[in-house]
Structure 1
Protein backbone atom coordinates (compact mmCIF):
# COMPACT_ATOMS: atom_id res chain seq x y z
CA UNK A 1 0.00 0.00 0.00
CA UNK A 2 1.34 3.43 -0.95
CA UNK A 3 2.14 5.83 1.86
CA UNK A 4 0.33 9.15 2.04
CA UNK A 5 2.25 12.34 1.28
CA UNK A 6 -0.19 14.49 3.31
CA UNK A 7 -3.04 13.91 5.75
CA UNK A 8 -6.19 12.64 3.99
CA UNK A 9 -8.94 15.04 2.93
CA UNK A 10 -11.34 13.29 5.30
CA UNK A 11 -10.41 12.07 8.76
CA UNK A 12 -9.71 8.34 9.06
CA UNK A 13 -8.35 6.69 12.21
CA UNK A 14 -4.74 5.64 11.78
CA UNK A 15 -3.95 8.28 9.16
CA UNK A 16 -0.82 9.34 11.02
CA UNK A 17 0.81 5.93 10.64
CA UNK A 18 -0.03 5.98 6.92
CA UNK A 19 2.04 9.10 6.22
CA UNK A 20 5.30 8.70 4.33
CA UNK A 21 7.87 9.39 7.04
CA UNK A 22 10.25 10.98 4.53
CA UNK A 23 7.96 13.95 4.00
CA UNK A 24 8.18 17.13 5.99
CA UNK A 25 4.49 17.06 6.87
CA UNK A 26 4.81 13.53 8.29
CA UNK A 27 7.76 14.60 10.42
CA UNK A 28 5.89 17.70 11.62
CA UNK A 29 2.72 15.78 12.46
CA UNK A 30 4.60 13.01 14.27
CA UNK A 31 6.55 15.62 16.22
CA UNK A 32 3.29 17.32 17.18
CA UNK A 33 1.82 13.95 18.22
CA UNK A 34 4.84 13.27 20.42
CA UNK A 35 4.68 16.74 21.95
CA UNK A 36 0.94 16.62 22.58
CA UNK A 37 1.02 13.15 24.12
CA UNK A 38 4.04 14.13 26.22
CA UNK A 39 2.09 17.14 27.51
CA UNK A 40 -0.66 14.72 28.55
CA UNK A 41 1.73 12.53 30.56
CA UNK A 42 3.11 10.31 27.78
CA UNK A 43 1.48 8.26 25.02
CA UNK A 44 1.80 5.02 26.99
CA UNK A 45 -0.23 6.50 29.86
CA UNK A 46 -3.13 7.56 27.59
CA UNK A 47 -6.24 5.55 26.92
CA UNK A 48 -7.17 4.56 23.38
CA UNK A 49 -9.89 7.22 23.45
CA UNK A 50 -7.35 9.90 24.40
CA UNK A 51 -4.93 8.81 21.66
CA UNK A 52 -7.78 8.93 19.12
CA UNK A 53 -8.69 12.44 20.28
CA UNK A 54 -5.06 13.53 19.88
CA UNK A 55 -5.01 12.10 16.35
CA UNK A 56 -8.26 13.90 15.49
CA UNK A 57 -6.99 17.16 17.01
CA UNK A 58 -3.88 16.95 14.84
CA UNK A 59 -5.94 16.29 11.71
CA UNK A 60 -8.26 19.23 12.48
CA UNK A 61 -5.25 21.47 13.13
CA UNK A 62 -3.79 20.51 9.75
CA UNK A 63 -7.14 21.07 8.01
CA UNK A 64 -7.58 24.49 9.64
CA UNK A 65 -4.05 25.50 8.64
CA UNK A 66 -4.61 24.50 5.01
CA UNK A 67 -7.85 26.51 4.94
CA UNK A 68 -6.06 29.55 6.36
CA UNK A 69 -3.36 29.27 3.69
CA UNK A 70 -6.06 29.06 1.02
CA UNK A 71 -7.70 32.20 2.42
CA UNK A 72 -4.36 34.05 2.47
CA UNK A 73 -3.78 33.09 -1.16
CA UNK A 74 -7.22 34.32 -2.21
CA UNK A 75 -8.56 30.84 -2.87
CA UNK A 76 -12.01 29.51 -2.00
CA UNK A 77 -12.67 29.63 1.75
CA UNK A 78 -15.78 28.40 3.56
CA UNK A 79 -15.95 30.33 6.82
CA UNK A 80 -18.78 28.11 8.12
CA UNK A 81 -16.72 24.94 7.77
CA UNK A 82 -13.72 26.69 9.29
CA UNK A 83 -15.75 27.79 12.34
CA UNK A 84 -17.19 24.28 12.78
CA UNK A 85 -13.71 22.76 12.62
CA UNK A 86 -12.28 25.35 15.03
CA UNK A 87 -15.11 24.69 17.48
CA UNK A 88 -14.57 20.95 17.14
CA UNK A 89 -10.86 21.35 17.82
CA UNK A 90 -11.59 23.54 20.83
CA UNK A 91 -13.91 20.85 22.24
CA UNK A 92 -11.34 18.10 21.74
CA UNK A 93 -8.58 20.15 23.35
CA UNK A 94 -10.85 21.01 26.28
CA UNK A 95 -11.67 17.31 26.73
CA UNK A 96 -7.98 16.36 26.67
CA UNK A 97 -7.04 19.23 28.97
CA UNK A 98 -4.98 22.29 28.29
CA UNK A 99 -2.55 21.87 31.19
CA UNK A 100 0.61 19.81 31.05
CA UNK A 101 0.58 16.68 33.18
CA UNK A 102 3.65 15.32 34.88
CA UNK A 103 4.77 11.84 34.00
CA UNK A 104 4.56 9.31 36.77
CA UNK A 105 8.18 8.56 37.59
CA UNK A 106 9.58 6.76 40.61
CA UNK A 107 11.58 8.65 43.20
CA UNK A 108 15.34 8.10 43.19
CA UNK A 109 15.27 5.69 46.13
CA UNK A 110 12.67 3.41 44.50
CA UNK A 111 14.45 3.60 41.14
CA UNK A 112 17.80 2.55 42.63
CA UNK A 113 16.15 -0.19 44.70
CA UNK A 114 14.53 -1.68 41.56
CA UNK A 115 17.81 -1.82 39.62
CA UNK A 116 19.58 -5.19 39.54
Structure 2
Protein backbone atom coordinates (compact mmCIF):
# COMPACT_ATOMS: atom_id res chain seq x y z
CA UNK A 1 0.00 0.00 0.00
CA UNK A 2 1.08 3.57 -0.69
CA UNK A 3 1.22 6.55 1.56
CA UNK A 4 -2.02 8.13 2.66
CA UNK A 5 -2.37 11.66 1.34
CA UNK A 6 -4.22 14.30 3.25
CA UNK A 7 -7.14 15.76 1.36
CA UNK A 8 -6.63 19.28 0.02
CA UNK A 9 -9.40 21.38 -1.42
CA UNK A 10 -9.23 21.41 -5.20
CA UNK A 11 -10.19 25.06 -5.48
CA UNK A 12 -6.63 26.31 -4.83
CA UNK A 13 -7.77 28.45 -1.93
CA UNK A 14 -6.42 26.29 0.88
CA UNK A 15 -4.17 28.34 3.19
CA UNK A 16 -0.51 27.68 2.37
CA UNK A 17 2.14 26.99 4.96
CA UNK A 18 4.08 29.99 6.28
CA UNK A 19 7.03 29.08 4.06
CA UNK A 20 4.85 29.27 0.96
CA UNK A 21 3.17 32.63 1.67
CA UNK A 22 4.24 35.94 0.17
CA UNK A 23 6.47 38.41 2.01
CA UNK A 24 3.48 40.76 2.23
CA UNK A 25 1.29 38.12 3.88
CA UNK A 26 4.07 37.27 6.34
CA UNK A 27 4.51 40.97 7.19
CA UNK A 28 8.09 41.14 5.90
CA UNK A 29 7.32 43.69 3.19
CA UNK A 30 4.91 46.60 2.93
CA UNK A 31 4.30 46.59 -0.82
CA UNK A 32 5.84 44.69 -3.73
CA UNK A 33 9.12 46.27 -4.81
CA UNK A 34 9.05 48.94 -2.08
CA UNK A 35 11.64 48.97 0.68
CA UNK A 36 9.42 51.11 2.92
CA UNK A 37 11.91 53.86 3.77
CA UNK A 38 10.46 56.70 1.68
CA UNK A 39 8.33 59.33 3.42
CA UNK A 40 5.27 58.25 1.45
CA UNK A 41 5.79 54.55 2.26
CA UNK A 42 6.21 55.37 5.96
CA UNK A 43 3.06 57.50 5.91
CA UNK A 44 1.16 54.68 4.17
CA UNK A 45 2.31 52.25 6.86
CA UNK A 46 1.42 54.72 9.65
CA UNK A 47 -2.10 55.31 8.33
CA UNK A 48 -2.76 51.60 7.78
CA UNK A 49 -1.43 50.77 11.25
CA UNK A 50 -3.50 53.46 12.96
CA UNK A 51 -6.71 52.46 11.20
CA UNK A 52 -6.11 48.79 12.05
CA UNK A 53 -5.42 49.78 15.66
CA UNK A 54 -8.63 51.83 15.76
CA UNK A 55 -10.51 48.69 14.72
CA UNK A 56 -9.02 46.59 17.51
CA UNK A 57 -5.73 45.50 15.93
CA UNK A 58 -4.75 43.78 12.70
CA UNK A 59 -4.89 40.33 14.33
CA UNK A 60 -8.65 40.76 14.87
CA UNK A 61 -9.43 41.85 11.29
CA UNK A 62 -10.42 39.78 8.29
CA UNK A 63 -8.28 39.83 5.17
CA UNK A 64 -11.02 41.80 3.40
CA UNK A 65 -10.87 44.55 6.03
CA UNK A 66 -7.08 44.55 5.91
CA UNK A 67 -7.23 45.00 2.13
CA UNK A 68 -9.73 47.84 2.50
CA UNK A 69 -7.46 49.47 5.07
CA UNK A 70 -4.56 49.30 2.59
CA UNK A 71 -6.73 50.98 -0.09
CA UNK A 72 -7.78 53.62 2.43
CA UNK A 73 -4.16 54.27 3.47
CA UNK A 74 -3.09 54.65 -0.17
CA UNK A 75 -5.88 57.08 -0.99
CA UNK A 76 -5.27 59.05 2.23
CA UNK A 77 -1.54 59.36 1.54
CA UNK A 78 -2.26 60.60 -1.99
CA UNK A 79 -4.81 63.11 -0.68
CA UNK A 80 -2.25 64.39 1.82
CA UNK A 81 0.27 64.88 -1.00
CA UNK A 82 -2.27 66.93 -2.95
CA UNK A 83 -3.09 68.99 0.14
CA UNK A 84 0.63 69.67 0.74
CA UNK A 85 0.91 70.97 -2.84
CA UNK A 86 -2.11 73.19 -2.26
CA UNK A 87 -0.67 74.52 1.02
CA UNK A 88 2.58 75.33 -0.82
CA UNK A 89 0.72 77.43 -3.36
CA UNK A 90 0.90 74.91 -6.19
CA UNK A 91 -2.08 74.14 -8.34
CA UNK A 92 -3.93 70.89 -7.77
CA UNK A 93 -6.58 69.03 -9.70
CA UNK A 94 -9.72 69.65 -7.67
CA UNK A 95 -11.52 66.76 -9.38
CA UNK A 96 -8.69 64.38 -8.40
CA UNK A 97 -8.87 65.58 -4.78
CA UNK A 98 -12.67 65.27 -4.76
CA UNK A 99 -12.45 61.74 -6.19
CA UNK A 100 -9.90 60.73 -3.53
CA UNK A 101 -12.06 62.24 -0.80
CA UNK A 102 -15.14 60.44 -2.11
CA UNK A 103 -13.19 57.17 -2.23
CA UNK A 104 -12.01 57.70 1.35
CA UNK A 105 -15.59 58.24 2.52
CA UNK A 106 -16.82 55.10 0.74
CA UNK A 107 -13.95 52.92 1.96
CA UNK A 108 -14.21 54.20 5.52
CA UNK A 109 -17.94 53.42 5.56
CA UNK A 110 -17.10 49.82 4.59
CA UNK A 111 -14.28 49.51 7.12
CA UNK A 112 -16.25 51.10 9.93
CA UNK A 113 -15.95 54.46 11.59
CA UNK A 114 -16.28 53.39 15.21
CA UNK A 115 -13.20 52.77 17.25
CA UNK A 116 -13.00 49.30 18.78
CA UNK A 117 -11.66 48.87 22.27
CA UNK A 118 -8.92 46.35 22.81
CA UNK A 119 -9.71 43.70 25.40
CA UNK A 120 -8.02 44.45 28.68
CA UNK A 121 -8.54 42.62 31.95
CA UNK A 122 -10.51 44.37 34.65
CA UNK A 123 -8.53 45.58 37.65
CA UNK A 124 -9.44 42.64 39.91
CA UNK A 125 -8.38 40.05 37.28
CA UNK A 126 -5.16 41.97 36.64
CA UNK A 127 -4.27 42.14 40.34
CA UNK A 128 -5.12 38.46 40.87
CA UNK A 129 -3.03 37.50 37.86
CA UNK A 130 -0.14 39.65 39.05
CA UNK A 131 -0.38 38.15 42.55
CA UNK A 132 -0.30 34.60 41.19
CA UNK A 133 2.81 35.41 39.19
CA UNK A 134 4.48 36.97 42.24
CA UNK A 135 3.51 33.99 44.45
CA UNK A 136 4.98 31.48 42.04
CA UNK A 137 8.40 33.03 41.46
CA UNK A 138 10.21 30.69 43.85
CA UNK A 139 11.59 33.40 46.17
CA UNK A 140 10.62 32.64 49.76
TM-score (norm 1): 0.67
CA–CA distance in structure 2, aligned partners of residues 80 and 102 of structure 1: 36
| Structure 1 ranges of 4+ moved more than 6 A | none
Q: Please list every run of 5 or more consecutive structure 2 residues that lacks an aligned counterpart in the other structure.
A: 1-23, 134-140
Instruction: Determine which of 114, 117, 136 is the counterpart of 1:99.
Output: 114
Instruction: Determine which of 21, 42, 48 is the counterpart of 2:36.
Output: 21
Query: Looking at both structures, which has the greater relative contact order when contacts are Cα pairs under 8 Å and sequence separation is at least 6?
Result: 1
**Per-residue CA shift, 1:56-82, capped at 9, x if unaligned?**
111001111112222333434221121
TM-score (norm 2): 0.57
RMSD over aligned CA atoms reads 2.7
Q: Please list every run of 5 or more consecutive structure 1 residues that lacks an aligned counterpart in the other structure.
A: 1-13
Alignment of 1:25-64 (within 5 A): 25-64=40-79
How many residue pairs end up in the alignment?
A: 99
